[in-house]
Amino acid sequence: MSQVPSQTEQRFLVRSLAIITTVLMLSWCLACQDAIPVVPQHLLGTWVTDDPRFAGRTFEITHTHVKIVQEQGGQPVVESIHKIERKPVGRNTLFTFYTRDDADPDQKPGKIIFEYDPGDDGVIHFKNQAPAWKKRVEPLL
């Protein structure tokens, strides 16, 4: 014959299940944070430079993608953002965006590395370029 657990044993089992469920839910939530990169608000927008060598080029950052236009009117390269690393460098922040070309899943994932300077309304310096990139200000209608 099976015994019916006492009220104390039942409470213990219910509490144990509640604790285990809570721990599993928290673990799942923490794992999800890594899966969804959060782009800082100050980086969102279209970035341009005055350097004539890069005339017509733009670099756009959205919540989920990076879009690079190599020449004015040209076809943009669009890559999804899968991971973002941040490293403080004095008052600046070094960002590494890990990206993937959704149109070509066989392509090796890429990295876009730049330093963000919050001074002068925000400036981006790419690791392999000298020019400063500033966020394009859209005219008010």
What residue spans define the domains of the chain? 1-35, 41-135
Average pLDDT estimate for 65-94: 91
Which of 141, 85, 95, 98 has the alpha carbon at shortest distance from 122? 95
The fraction of the chain above a pLDDT of 90, given in percent, is 48
Structure tokens at 21: 């469920």
Helix, coil or strand: residue 74: coil
Confidence (pLDDT) at 32 = 55
* CB distance 115 to 94 below 8 Å: yes
Confidence (pLDDT) at 63 = 95
Confidence (pLDDT) at 111 = 95
In this model, does residue 81 exceed pLDDT 90?
yes
